[in-house]
Structure 1
Amino acid sequence: MNNLKVRQITRLVRNFGTTTKNDFKVAVVGACGGIGQPLALLLKRHKLISKLSIYDVVKTPGVYADLSHIDTKVCIEAFQCAENLPAALEKAQVVMLVGGMARKPGMTRDDLFAKNASVVEEVTMIVAEKCPKALFGIVTNPVNSCVPLAAEVLKKKNAFDPKRLFGVTTLDLVRSRTFIGQILGVEPSKVALPVIGGHSGQTILPVLSQCKPTLKLDKEKATKLIKRIQEAGTEVVKAKDQDGGGSATLSMAHSAAVFTDALLKALKGDGKPVKCSFVASDVSDCAYFATPLQLGKNGVEKNLGLPKLSADEEKLYCIAVEQLKKDIQKGIDYFKKQNKDEKKDKKDKKC
């Protein structure tokens, strides 16, 4: 199916879409990938969404056709090819960026950033132009570098609002609750704890000392649990490599849906959800840091700051901060280089 036909489908769907006062438009960028498809499926069932805009560079017509058969009120818009990205994002109140390359066995976070940085930059530029007031969630990895990069792009476009840009770290909480629930023999949904820092390796800090129900582990077992949470992504990558490769997609889609749900409830004014997310922050020595956030209609309503840490957690916090500083700078340096190259190209053309 060619690009023109995708546009025709989109217009047809628009004509039949209906909205009510508390309904919102959500855009999923990268909707046809391993994370995007299950995320779109979950959002197609969300009662606060009236319009779900799906965008990807390939496979959009097929995913659209499949989703459009699901018997919920959510109206689907389908867009394919870069020239249609602005239309996909126009007037969106929530944007979830899940596109880019997934991590493969042997691939470092630096390798991943080199592949995904251009995707984040391109999408963020269109967000700045078409929906600068949207709550913008970045799932594309590495989050620790992609969020600072997106912030620099938004600043250049005079569209940066630190309350509206989120690095989605919910998967770290989801995994923590699952593993702790197994240890305590309780439902994971009953487990509550903050997971702070960033979204990779040693930057992930589950604050076990603040866990409810109380988690009593000796130092060796606590260290082992924290390491498992920090390396859970690698655990999935290695397991999937036996069947052709891949990374966490289903658990990430679930986590992204959980975070999207919190943003939608905040937009509606349905209580004041609290979620941890990687945002511009002054609670640590890092320019960006994940802590519990109280969400509201304009995004971050209040940063609840660092939770109380045990002596061992203080040490892990210091390790996380030092690594995060490097990760954050990587995103900023990429933007500076791109901006410098852009200026050089313009100068060369004038000559």
Structure 2
Amino acid sequence: MRHFSTNPNLMKVSVIGSAGKVGQALSLMLKQSPLIDELCVHDVKPTSGFATELEHIDTHCKVTAYTGKDMVENALQDSKVVVILAAGDETDVLPFDRMWSVNANIVKEVVSLIVKNCPRAFLVIGTNPINSLVPMACEVLKKIWLL
């Protein structure tokens, strides 16, 4: 059975940072899940070709591509699960402090948009340094919700 956007049981998953190595592999696995009705792939790099390739996999999951910083909110709208894999360019080779400063700003920005567009979404963070970004995201959520 195909679910449409008017159905409250629609399982929409958004992968923010899907054009990277981990994002592409994860999106491929999510596309094959029978539990997901819509998969939104977003990155600042083009994702339409990747989304088209995913659409060729014969499952009931619909794939939607979003590209650019201004399209994050559209990708997040009504998502039940949000996976943040977004990171700055070449941050995997930077020292810890520089990696933190770049990626923390990205995660903070996305987390604040999650509160605005899908406040009940389950949040998954896979951006390095994970052991520092998860507590930071938690504090951002507390600060926004207590306002």
Normalized against structure 1, the TM-score is what? 0.38
CA shift for structure 1 position 83: 1.4
Give the counterpart of 2:40 among 53, 66, 70.
53
Question: Does the Cα contact within 8 Å between 1:22 and 1:48 map onto a contact in 2?
Answer: no
The AA in structure 2 aligned to 1:24 is M
Q: 1:191-229 CA deviation, whole Å, 9 max, x = no partner?
A: xxxxxxxxxxxxxxxxxxxxxxxxxxxxxxxxxxxxxxx
Give the counterpart of 2:102 among 105, 115, 121.
115
Give the counterpart of 1:32 among 19, 41, 45.
19
The AA in structure 2 aligned to 1:99 is A
Aligned positions of 1:1-351 closer than 5 A: 18-19=2-3, 23-101=10-88, 102-104=91-93, 107-158=94-145
CA separation in 1, counterparts of 2:143 and 2:70? 21
Q: 1:223-255 CA deviation, whole Å, 9 max, x = no partner?
A: xxxxxxxxxxxxxxxxxxxxxxxxxxxxxxxxx
CA separation in 1, counterparts of 2:101 and 2:107? 11
The answer for the alignment partner of 1:348 in structure 2 is none
Return structure 1 stretches of 4+ with deviation > 3 angstroms.
Answer: 20-23
CA shift for structure 1 position 35: 0.8
CA shift for structure 1 position 111: 2.5
The AA in structure 2 aligned to 1:80 is T
Q: 1:9-56 CA deviation, whole Å, 9 max, x = no partner?
A: xxxxxxxxx327865111100011111111100100001000101111
The answer for the alignment partner of 1:282 in structure 2 is none
Question: Does the Cα contact within 8 Å between 1:23 and 1:48 map onto a contact in 2?
Answer: no
Q: Which has the higher contact order (CA 8 A, sep 6+)?
A: 2
CA separation in 1, counterparts of 2:8 and 2:115? 25
CA separation in 1, counterparts of 2:110 and 2:20? 16
Q: Name the SS for the 1:49 alignment partner.
A: coil
* % identical equivalent positions: 37
Gaps of 5+ in 1: 1-17, 160-351
CA separation in 1, counterparts of 2:48 and 2:36? 21
Normalized against structure 2, the TM-score is what? 0.87
CA separation in 2, counterparts of 1:74 and 1:21? 16
CA separation in 1, counterparts of 2:35 and 2:19? 22
Q: Name the SS for the 2:141 alignment partner.
A: helix
Q: 1:21 to 1:158 in 2, by over 3 A?
A: closer
Q: Name the SS for the 1:26 alignment partner.
A: strand
CA separation in 2, counterparts of 1:143 and 1:124? 14
Greater CA radius of gyration, 1 or 2?
A: 1
Q: 1:242-278 CA deviation, whole Å, 9 max, x = no partner?
A: xxxxxxxxxxxxxxxxxxxxxxxxxxxxxxxxxxxxx
Indicate the structure with greater helix content. Answer: 1
CA shift for structure 1 position 109: 2.3
Q: Name the SS for the 2:37 alignment partner.
A: strand
CA shift for structure 1 position 155: 2.0
